[in-house]
Structure 1
Amino acid sequence: MLSEMEFSQWLNQPQHFGQIKKMAAGIQKRLVVANLRLPGTDAGSDPQAALEEITQELAAFLIETPGLQPMLVHDANAATTTVIRYFLNHARNMIRSSAHSQDVYKDNWRAFRRHVLAVLGDADEFVKFSAPRDMAFGRSDTARPVLIPPEKTAEIPFPPDVPAHFERMNQKKHILNLAVHFWGHCAEIAGTRHVRMNLNDFISWIAMYVPLQVTREIPDETDATIPRISTPGPDPEKKSCVEAWVNNFYNRLDARQKQIFYYYECLGYTGKQVAKRMGRKSHLTYQRDLIREDLKAFLCPLEWVSPSPEKGHAPGDPDAFHFFMETLCATLGQNLEKTF
């Protein structure tokens, strides 16, 4: 069995990633025929941009699915049909999950990636390169590609002058500051003046410090793991009502469900990270989806909060729902961080 690092290095070789792109093109055709679209992808994107997003999703899926890796490494052409079939099943599960929890779960990763791509693509400080696995950038047209292990990029500190909060950080000036900081440190690690780094490497580094799923307030550096309430929320009377509903839903969850919800929805951890944190070999996405469904049903009677109210009622105020989620995450964080 290959390690994640070994398979990522195999995948990053141009001839191998070229085969992944061909598989993604086959997947794209099948999605178009079935009138399906991956959750989080841009509905208005052109076919080439859509193909890039499918390719990135497929690569991430393969990295997180060790069972497919040996046959892919042994003979990628022979594995094509199997990989496409498994990924289409994965895509359908993603689509069903997204449809069932449409506004309860918001995935910022892809939207943020598109924003970062646009910011760096327009910046005079950066040069864009086509790369076999991902879009790449450098600070000079002579920047050379380097392979820096994830454990090395993980050592790059987050600059103190950039807010560690998604909504405040997701601005052009902060993204550029982060990029200059990241590329500078990567060049230092590589022992050269200029390096060419993949876009996803940069975003993965940001995600170590700033959750890209559910936004939260970071009050200070000494308590950066506990989500805080950042939205103003409803008026005082409604605020008291929301807090009561938060408390009721919190008490509906058992200890394990609280951990699953907190890791996925509040801290934005990936399935692999949650499984590792909870000592499980498989992902806990099914249990997560059950909790989302329970939350959706729980909020239905509260029309002014619920993103999916009972039939005949308009969706609630997004700010009220956001306030509910942040209050719930804060409650979970304050009670669970003590035992994690």
Structure 2
Amino acid sequence: MSALPGSPEAAATTGLDDSQVLPAPIDLPPLTEQARIEARQIIARYPVARSALLPMLHLVQSYQGYVSPEGVALCAEELGLTKAEVGAVATFYTMYKRRPTGRHLVSVCTNTLCAVLGGQRIMDALSADLGVHHDETAADGSITLEHAECLAACDYAPVVTVDYEFYDQQDVESARALVAALRQGEKPHPTRGAPLTDFRGVSRQLAGFSQHADEAAAATAVDAPGDYEPTLRGLRLAAERGESAPPMRGPEAEPADAGEPRETVRPAGSTGETPGQEAADARVAAADTPAEKAGAAGAHPDAPEPAGRRLPDGREGTDTPAGREPGTGGQGPDGPSRTIEGRGPSRRR
């Protein structure tokens, strides 16, 4: 895939957008027949096949570490889409990577609260240590670094995630120590949540498949301990003080006279009128306000036809006088005409 001339950041490509089009890594594992089988298993979960695209893109990342051109082609083939349609989705969401990632994805929140408490300083320090900028991978292939707009954990700020697992209340030194351990092959336990695996493993989990070797390992991940004190603090204080939320109100009962009168639904047929006329009479009688009564009377089958507009010269009708049509500039079909206001002769056809 090559960039189209003049595109933003030279980035528009057919099927996959990127700020820099890179050749596939030499050691990129192929998408095997097993990957295609699993893609079809994902499709079978949805009543509309196209809905399977998002988890299928995670599946591609679990095999190759990013949404590769080969992965775009596989998704397009299985879903009956064009590569451009698949690429449009893959380039919209930041969780889909457009170039090969490292073993771990480190995300640093730099949004308002985290930034104020040191998130940007953490990002700058890690960038200097790794020799990379946003969305770039260290030379040894260990870490891909990115800044995140918000990791939805403001009560734990500043926050860093590794493969989407949380490492809370970080500072520059603790974040540098975390990344150093990751580069040495260690997997420090997250502050809360499942034990750390790697980027491809969590991508498989997001695709809807277990990333763990067996059920016991999966259960251990689910039951992993964590420090939830900031989130639970308000709940615990409320329990200590005997505070509780007010009871929720149930749905209000509808008024007994809601809806149209019974006569409008089942006309009696005893007044000598048609059912439509009888129902219309009932609507007029049931109207509560003058405006409602006028509206019901106007909609009555026996209501007189609206009179035509009375023109200043005493005629009735709705014809637009010659020369008054929009854009005619006062010129009728037979030349200039006098205005109605001047009570000049009128032309009717």
The TM-score normalised by the length of structure 2 is: 0.23
**Structure with more relative contact order (C-alpha pairs < 8 Å, separation 6 or more):** 1
Which has a greater percent of helix?
A: 1
Q: Higher Cα Rg: structure 1 or 2?
A: 2
